[in-house]
Structure 1
Amino acid sequence: MASSTNEIVHEFLPMIRVYKDGRVERLVGNDVVPASVDPNTEVQSKDVIISPEIGVGARLFLPKNADPHRKLPLVVYFHGGGFVIESAFSPTFYNYLNSLVAEANVVVVAVDYRLAPEHPLPIAYEDSWVGLKWVASHVKGDGQESWLKDYVDFERVFFGGDSAGGNIAHNMAMRIGSEKFDGISIVGLFLIHPFFWGEEPIGNECADIKIAAKAYADNLWRFVNPSTVGSNDPFLNPATNPNLSSLGCTRVLVFVAEEDLVKDRGWYYKEVLAKSGWKGNVEVMEAKGENHVFHLLNPTCENALAMLERVASFLNQDKV
């Protein structure tokens, strides 16, 4: 019995193990911190329950000296973690979003979606959509959340996310393109090391040293999305989506890291988006010598600070 209990049937290091008896062990990303006033930035945060029936919530961030007479851009942010770890309430994202709010002077709603494997895809997408509908319910002065009603300019809404969260942000922008919310204008999308992939390797993915890494990404996708058609699923490989031109915003900023496995997918995303007929502008910023989500692991390094500054600039450009 003991050996059966401890038998591992799925393992994606350093994130998660699943045992034969169904037990799920998350190896990282379990910590949470309470909402508060951050002593370093004076950014305020608070938590809201969006849908108690399914367990979807969010953490809201408000910059210091916010003035209801000067409405601010809104960022709806989706956290990363391979769809299997982390939350909107983790210290990693608490620290990052405090810094982003302080630097860019924006309001942030960080949506907390349910995780695989207990809640396989497309549940994370559906939960994120529930979060967006909740945000949209405040456009005409309705809704219960005063921070959204009092401080947000709903003509300057952005989506953002890192890794798996970048994937979610893209797919939410795709859905916005076909299911527009009355009163919300999605101006832009910023994707940090987005988890995009595909069946056929491209760029450095073709190198022998990347074979095991490619298998890891392929298998992780099938693990979190058992009903998928594979790595060319349009949710994972935007190039296979015939409706890519309907992406529901006018500006896209993609961040990639030189040593990251998914770097070439970020550049490829720019290429296929530009060729799709989408009427917008897409840019890519590459951090030399860095790896996946380095800005979360080393937030004060030169490249992380440059990224933060670039995101802030992106969020404060005049509408296109």
Structure 2
Amino acid sequence: MDADAEVVLHAPPFVRIFKSGRVERLLGNEVLPAGLDPATGVVSKDVLIDPATNLVARLYLPDLAGSPPDRKLPVLVYYHGGGFVIETAFSPTYHNYLNSLVAAAGVVAVSVDYRRAPEHPLPAAYDDSWAALQWVASRPPAEEWLAERGDLGRVFLAGDSAGANIVHQVALRVAAEGLGGAATIKGLLLIHPYFWGAEPLGSESRDPETRAGPEKIWTLVCPGTVGPDDPRLNPLAEGATSMAGLPCRRVLVMVAEEDILRERGRAYYEALERSGWEGEARLMEAEGEQHVFHFRDPKSAKAVSMMQTVVSFLTSD
């Protein structure tokens, strides 16, 4: 059989990998250009952060007509989801979401286009995400929108699914190494986080075939893993770094009732509450909803409520 036709790994809905090494992504391949969004007045542009790794971010600035020229805005660093395999910072899913969020919250957003597996297995995505945050936190800021409008004393890290996993890992690195300068992480937002583990939690499925899904993706993106209790996938595993030192005062964890990952998000929140961390944690659950439902139907009542909660988190002191 032709090596470019023989499938050696099929992991729906993410990817097919062929014997030749060719990777076929099944979702998240469409891209939208940066620029002015007429619906919200938000303007975006793409910025090269590291030529060596081709690390790029898409920056978003809200409509500031009528605002004082010295008005400073919170800075949101966003890590997209997709199992570390699919989607980009430029896909319609994330471009449209960030336009809406930036308009509603009045923040400067930096959407990070980290390298994806399997071509670039972990820790590439973690390293890129850390490099992007360091770039944001540089003093003086490396980019004009951040220099002119960004308040580095109010930096938030946010992400969904794999992006929420990245948020936790980057926060741990901030705690261990610091950011320097005037940059301060005010809060972490973890939306339907991609965490897992070897043993079922709570109402989590006991069916081996169902449980194999998250584990299959993890093995693909992290070939050197010790398994589903790898601390990067299971922050509650033995040997995982304590959450007590998370470098912020507020954390919001969002889960969805019908999401296979729900129990992991709840367990993360509960472990944070027990850890000795001195900040304020909050858990929000969307009843009857699936994983990242707010992207599929952003105008639904629950998605609108979710957006309002996120905006409140980013704008309240």
Cα deviation for residue 69 of structure 1 reads 1.5
Report the AA paired with residue 128 of structure 1.
S
Show the counterpart of 2:144: 146
Between stretches 40-49 and 65-74, larger displacement belongs to 65-74
Which residue in 2 is equivalent to 1:111?
A: 112
Q: Displacement, 1:207? A: 4.1
Report whether the alignment pairs 1:38 with 2:37. Answer: yes
User: Where does structure 1 lack aligned partners over 5 or more consecutive residues?
Assistant: none
Name 2:127's counterpart in structure 1: 126
Question: Is residue 305 from structure 1 mapped to residue 301 from structure 2 by the alignment?
Answer: no
Q: What CA distance in whole angstroms lies between the structure 2 residues aligned with 1:242 and 1:107?
A: 30
Contact 1:222 1:228 in 2 (8 A): yes
Call closer, same or farther: CA 1:290–1:142 in 2, change over 3 Å. closer
Q: Give the AA of the match of 2:188.
A: L
Report whether the alignment pairs 1:230 with 2:200.
no
Summarize deviations over 1:153-204 as a string: whole Å, max 9, x none. Answer: 1111000000000100111111111111121110100111010111111122
Deviation at 1:243, TM superposition (A): 2.6
Does the CA-based 8 Å contact 1:239-1:272 persist in structure 2? yes
Write the mapping of 1:270-285 to structure 2, written as runs, cut at 5 A.
270-285=269-284
Matched-pair contact (CA < 8 Å) for 2:205–2:211:
no
Does residue 215 of structure 2 align to residue 215 of structure 1?
Answer: no
Aligned mates of 2:161, 2:100 — CA distance in 1? 19
User: Match for residue 247 of structure 1?
Assistant: 246
Q: Give the secondary-structure state (helix, strand or coil) at the position aligned to 1:202.
A: coil
| Structure 2 SS opposite 1:221 | helix
How far the C-alpha of 1:230 sits from its partner, in A, is 1.2
Q: Deviations over 1:43-91 (max 9, x none)?
A: 0100000011111000000000164422110100000000001111111
Instruction: Give the corresponding residue for 2:77.
Output: 76
2:204 is paired with a residue of what secondary structure? helix
Which amino acid in 2 is paired with 1:313? S
How large is the RMSD of aligned CA atoms in angstroms?
1.2
Structure-1-length-normalised TM-score: 0.95
Q: Which moved more, 1:254-263 or 1:275-284?
A: 275-284
Matches of 2:123 and 2:244, distance apart in 1: 22
Which amino acid is 1:277 matched to?
G
CA contact (8 A) 2:80 2:88 kept: yes
Following the alignment from structure 1 to structure 2, what is the Cα–Cα distance between the partners of residues 72 and 180?
22
In the TM superposition, what is the alpha-carbon distance from 1:308 to its structure 2 partner? 0.6
Q: Could you tell me how far apart the structure 2 residues matched to 1:149 and 1:26 are?
A: 37
Matched-pair contact (CA < 8 Å) for 1:83–1:124: yes
How far apart in 1 are the matches of 2:54 and 2:214?
28
Whether the 8 Å CA contact 2:31–2:91 is kept in 1: the answer is: yes
Native 8 Å contact 2:200 2:206 kept in 1? no
- Residue 313 of structure 2 aligns with which residue? 314
Paired residue type of 2:46: D
Distance 2:96 2:166 in 1: 21
2:230 aligned partner, one-letter code: D
User: C-alpha displacement at 1:294, in angstroms?
Assistant: 0.6
Alignment of 1:189-208 (within 5 A): 189-208=188-207
- Contact 1:178 1:248 survives alignment (8 Å): no
TM-score (norm 2): 0.96
**Which structure 2 segments of 5+ residues have no match?**
none
Determine if contact 2:189/2:252 at 8 Å carries over to the other structure. Answer: yes
